[in-house]
Amino acid sequence: MYVKNLRAVVLLIFVVFLISGCDQKQEVSSSTGDAEENIDEMPEPLNVELILPEKAALGESIEIKAHVTQGEENVDDAYEVVFEIWVENDKENSEMIDYTEYRDGIYSIKKVFEEPGVYHVQSHVTARGMHIMPTKQVIVEEE
């Protein structure tokens, strides 16, 4: 009698695992189908071209631009465009500057450097659910 009960319990456990395994397979396959559908609907990635001179003269006003595009389209509805500027090896003391001008997908600021050195400029652009942060440098020299 003990052996019959043990067989019944083992058979019951086997059936439960078999049924739960089938349910999981259905879930996985439907999730995979959804993922494949979403791939077709994925938007093109955001692109930011950071534009600034390689060198600048001390005390000279330069223009720093971020040209924001998605595919071939200029992005005119960016949620945030901020330029972070710091002297080399001193990012802790960086300066954050919101864009002040916009035209045809180009967000820009004007900046005057008061000290010579190598400066890093990083744009923080958030638009259409994406965030991108390209970095370039400018060398500021006394004339």
Q: What is the pLDDT of residue 9?
A: 64
Which pLDDT score is estimated for 124? 97
pLDDT at residue 128 in the model: 92
Indicate whether 88 and 106 sit together in one domain: yes
Give dist(CA 87, CA 8) in Å, integer: 75
Look at residue 29 in the predicted model and tell me its pLDDT: 43
Q: Please report, in tens digits, the pLDDT of each residue of the chain (143 residues total).
A: 555 666 766 666 766 555 665 554 444 444 455 555 555 677 789 999 999 999 999 999 999 999 999 999 999 999 999 999 999 999 999 999 999 999 999 999 999 999 999 999 999 999 999 999 999 999 999 87
Residue 5 one-letter amino acid:
N
Residues in the chain: 143
Cβ burial of 36 (10 Å; 0-12, 13-18, 19+) is exposed
pLDDT of residue 3: 56
Q: Where are the beta strands (DSSP E) in the chain?
A: 46-51, 55-57, 61-70, 73-74, 80-87, 95-98, 101-103, 106-112, 117-127, 130-132, 135-141
Domain carrying residue 55: 46-141
For residue 95, what is the domain's CATH number? 2.60.40.730
What pLDDT score was predicted for residue 26?
A: 43
**Does residue 126 share a domain with residue 95?**
yes
How far is Cα 86 from Cα 94, in angstroms, rounded to an integer?
Answer: 4
Number of domains in the chain: 2
Residues 76 and 106 in one domain: yes
Q: How far is residue 140 CA from its own chain's centroid?
A: 29
Residues 61 and 115 in one domain: yes
- pLDDT of the residue at 7: 72
